[in-house]
């Protein structure tokens, strides 16, 4: 699912002022077996690992956008 498609479903307070995606680089520390699984699955889908991770994160945000966000550090 692209950010353009997500923009129609994600509340504006979660996506910011613009529907244009602002990209931020994240460093992830994950086990090698997960990297391998992500790369294999992405390849099977004909997309890159980065595209797959963005899709998974986008779908997670959509699925949880109506649930309250809990701040564990307050």
User: Is the full-model pTM beyond 0.75?
Assistant: no
For 56, the domain range is: 1-7+43-61
Report if residue 56 sits inside a domain. Answer: yes
Where does the pLDDT of residue 67 fall: very low under 50, low under 70, confident under 90, or very high at 90 and above? low
* The two three-digit tokens of residue 57, written as one number: 């994160």
Count how many residues are written for the chain.
74
Report if residue 27 sits inside a domain. Answer: no
Report if residue 53 sits inside a domain. Answer: yes
pLDDT at 28: 87
Report if residue 13 sits inside a domain. Answer: no
Report if residue 15 sits inside a domain. Answer: no
pLDDT digits (tens, 9 = 90+) for 4-56: 444 445 555 555 555 556 778 888 899 999 999 999 999 999 999 999 999 99
DSSP 6-69: HHTTS-HHHH-S-SSPPP--------HHHHHHHHHHHHHHTS-HHHHHHHHHHHHHHHHTTSPP
Report if residue 71 sits inside a domain. Answer: no
Number of domains in the chain: 1
């Amino acid at each position: 699912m692209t950010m353009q498609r997500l923009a129609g479903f994600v509340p504006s307070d979660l996506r910011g002022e613009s529907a244009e995606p602002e990209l931020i680089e994240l460093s992830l520390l994950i086990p090698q077996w997960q990297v391998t699984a992500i790369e294999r699955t992405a390849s099977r889908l004909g997309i890159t690992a980065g595209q797959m991770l963005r899709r998974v994160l986008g779908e997670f945000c959509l699925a949880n956008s109506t649930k309250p966000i809990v701040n564990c550090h307050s």
